[in-house]
Amino acid sequence: MSGAPRRVVVVGNGIAGLTACDTLRAEGFDGELTVVGAEVHAPYSRPALSKALLKLDGDLGAHELPPSSHDAIELRGVSATGLDVDARRIALSDGQDLAYDGLVIASGARARRPEVDVPVLTLRELDDAIALRGALAGRPEVVVLGGGVLGMEIASGALAAGCRVTLVATSAPMSRQLGGFLATMLARAATERGLRVVTTPSAEIVERGGRAAVSLADGTVIEADVVAGATGDHANIEWLAGSRVLTGDALVADGRGRVADGVVAAGDVASWRGSRGVRRTPLWTSAIEQARTAAAALLRGDEVPELDFQSYFWTEQFDLAVKAVGDLPLIDDPETVEGDAASDSALLRWTHPDGSHTAVAVNWRIPIPKLRRLTLAG
Ligand SMILES: Cc1cc2nc3c(=O)[nH]c(=O)nc-3n(C[C@H](O)[C@H](O)[C@H](O)COP(=O)(O)OP(=O)(O)OC[C@H]3O[C@@H](n4cnc5c(N)ncnc54)[C@H](O)[C@@H]3O)c2cc1C
């Protein structure tokens, strides 16, 4: 790109888009800034949707973020529908066409939805959370398909709301994400609180008598009043088709978030190149760190150090709060730094074959920088 950009467009009004706007201003960018967001809402905390917001007595404002101060033109309820990198223009769903000389792609991801013509609840957006919370209020019988973080957090919220809940998963819940030790701990807490877990080699959401149900590999069909699907997500890249910024079906960025001249990407939409290969890391703090690096790189290029980020993951489910700094999943058993894992309150540390560590706090109050420091100790 020749010279610093004067007109930057940010596509996506989630945490990556918001952080990119804030970073551009903090870096001294005083040109025209426009943010295009498909949702009508101001940016909010997505992690809160499956935690505080699902609690029927929880704070209905728990997802709110402080008002933005980046002084961008905000187009809400409008989607980018096409990108022309040669002309440096973005087509919008309202028929407008925006010119840019710097572009941040932060269009995130969306929930994978089953292909059935009957209602199935998923949880990605604020409106989904409001619908799910409303559905749980009647204490229906619930079946959740998906044993990942989102499936378990939905099941936890539904149980806490007083519902009878079955969770269907294709392996032990959370084992792929966290490894056996922590997955066992969470599964114990879940079953003690009344969750029924069904594991099956495969499962899908089907229609039964005009309603959704979950069909298992052996042909059993589990019916319930409410069916929730938590079977993963899709990066929102369709609007980039034909723009030459995609590598196959991925938006691959370098270690500073750059995908083309004058174009950077951050957050759930992007796969970043790092020391451990090309990876999409759909986590809240990754979106923030990537957006900071990418926005700075849009202005200052190679001067900006490549992102060297240790991922931070957390979940709250079945009265357990788990925070992890470092690589996941975790093989074998940990060393106990403090506390007692058997009583669900401990500070734990795993050592990986390459000598690196992952530090995990389970129901243990510890500031994140201190948890990070634990991964450095030899
Ligand atoms: C329910 C839930 C709970 C979670 N809990 C945790 C957690 O506990 N810990 C954790 O680390 N992570 C958690 N995550 C993941 C975390 O929220 C995401 O990694 C993070 O929100 C990604 O931010 P983003 O800005 O990249 O994308 P998004 O948050 O997806 O934001 C992208 C925005 O772009 C908009 N958009 C999409 N396409 C277009 C387009 N073409 N034009 C304009 N706008 C567009 C979307 O509508 C959306 O508003 C959770 C996610 C969910 C759904």
Q: Angle between the 126-136 and 149-160 helix axes, to the nearest 10 degrees?
A: 40
SS3 56: coil
Ligand 1 closest atom vs CA 238: 41
d(CA 46, CA 69): 20
What is residue 1's predicted lDDT score, i.e. its pLDDT?
54
What is residue 311's predicted lDDT score, i.e. its pLDDT?
86
Residue 209 pLDDT > 80, yes or no?
yes
Q: If you measure from the C-alpha of residue 4 to the centroid of ligand 1, how many angstroms do you get, rounded to a whole number?
A: 29
- Asked if 222 contacts 199 with a C-beta cutoff of 8 angstroms, the reply is no
Residue 3 pLDDT > 80, yes or no?
no
Q: Whose CA is nearest to atom 50 of ligand 1?
A: 47
d(CA 252, CA 232): 19
Q: Whose CA is nearest to atom 35 of ligand 1?
A: 12
Contacts by 269-273, CB closer than 8 A, 24 or more apart: 269/12, 269/16, 269/105, 269/106, 269/107, 269/108, 269/109, 269/235, 269/236, 269/237, 270/105, 270/235, 272/307
Continuous segment of H or E residues that includes residue 91: strand 89-92
Average pLDDT over residues 172-183: 96
Q: What angle do CA 370, 373, 377 make, to 5 degrees?
A: 140
Q: If you measure from the C-alpha of residue 366 to the centroid of ligand 1, how many angstroms do you get, rounded to a whole number?
A: 26
Complete DSSP assignment for 283-347? -HHHHHHHHHHHHHHHHHGGGSPPP----EEEEEETTEEEEEES-SS--SPPEEEEEEGGGTEEE
d(CA 15, CA 226): 30
Average pLDDT over residues 185-198: 97
What is residue 77's predicted lDDT score, i.e. its pLDDT?
97
Q: If you measure from the C-alpha of residue 109 to the centroid of ligand 1, how many angstroms do you get, rounded to a whole number?
A: 6
- Asked if 334 contacts 349 with a C-beta cutoff of 8 angstroms, the reply is yes
Q: Mean of the per-residue pLDDT values for the chain?
A: 95
What is residue 337's predicted lDDT score, i.e. its pLDDT?
96
Q: If you measure from the C-alpha of residue 108 to the centroid of ligand 1, how many angstroms do you get, rounded to a whole number?
A: 5
Residue to substitute in 236, 239, 281, 313 for testing ligand 1 pocket (most ligand atoms within 8 angstroms of CB): 236
Continuous segment of H or E residues that includes residue 204: strand 203-208
Residue 141 phi/psi, 5-degree rounding, is -80, 135
Residue 352 pLDDT > 80, yes or no?
yes
Pairing, β 32-37 against β 7-11: parallel
As given in the structure block, the two tokens for residue 270 are 């992007």
Residue 79 pLDDT > 70, yes or no?
yes
Q: Whose CA is nearest to atom 7 of ligand 1?
A: 47
Domains of the chain in start order, with CATH, are 7-110+233-303 (3.50.50.60), 113-229 (3.50.50.60), 319-374 (no CATH)
Nearest to 90 by CA among 29, 7, 3, 1: 7
pLDDT interval class at 119 (50, 70, 90): confident
What is residue 2's predicted lDDT score, i.e. its pLDDT?
55
Q: Which residue's entry shows tokens 């403090």?
A: 338
What is residue 363's predicted lDDT score, i.e. its pLDDT?
97
Complete DSSP assignment for 228-244? EE---EEES-GGGTTSS
What is residue 164's predicted lDDT score, i.e. its pLDDT?
98
Q: What is the DSSP letter of 269?
A: G
What is residue 4's predicted lDDT score, i.e. its pLDDT?
81
**Lowest mean pLDDT segment, chosen from 49-53, 98-102, 189-193:** 49-53
Average pLDDT over residues 84-113: 97
Which residues are near ligand 1 (CB < 6 Å)?
Answer: 11-17, 36-39, 46-47, 49-50, 79-80, 106-109, 123-124, 150, 236, 239, 267-268, 282-285, 287, 313-315
- Asked if 137 contacts 129 with a C-beta cutoff of 8 angstroms, the reply is no
Residue to substitute in 22, 46, 74 for testing ligand 1 pocket (most ligand atoms within 8 angstroms of CB): 46
Q: Whose CA is nearest to atom 17 of ligand 1?
A: 46
Pairing, β 263-265 against β 102-105: parallel
What is residue 377's predicted lDDT score, i.e. its pLDDT?
66
pTM of the model: 0.96
What is residue 198's predicted lDDT score, i.e. its pLDDT?
98
Query: How far is CA 172 from each of CA 112, 148, 149, 177, 257, rounded to the nearest angstrom?
Result: 20, 9, 12, 10, 35
Average pLDDT over residues 350-377: 94
- Asked if 51 contacts 316 with a C-beta cutoff of 8 angstroms, the reply is yes
Q: If you measure from the C-alpha of residue 120 to the centroid of ligand 1, how many angstroms do you get, rounded to a whole number?
A: 20
What is residue 57's predicted lDDT score, i.e. its pLDDT?
78
Q: Whose CA is nearest to atom 53 of ligand 1?
A: 124
d(CA 196, CA 168): 9
- Asked if 77 contacts 40 with a C-beta cutoff of 8 angstroms, the reply is yes
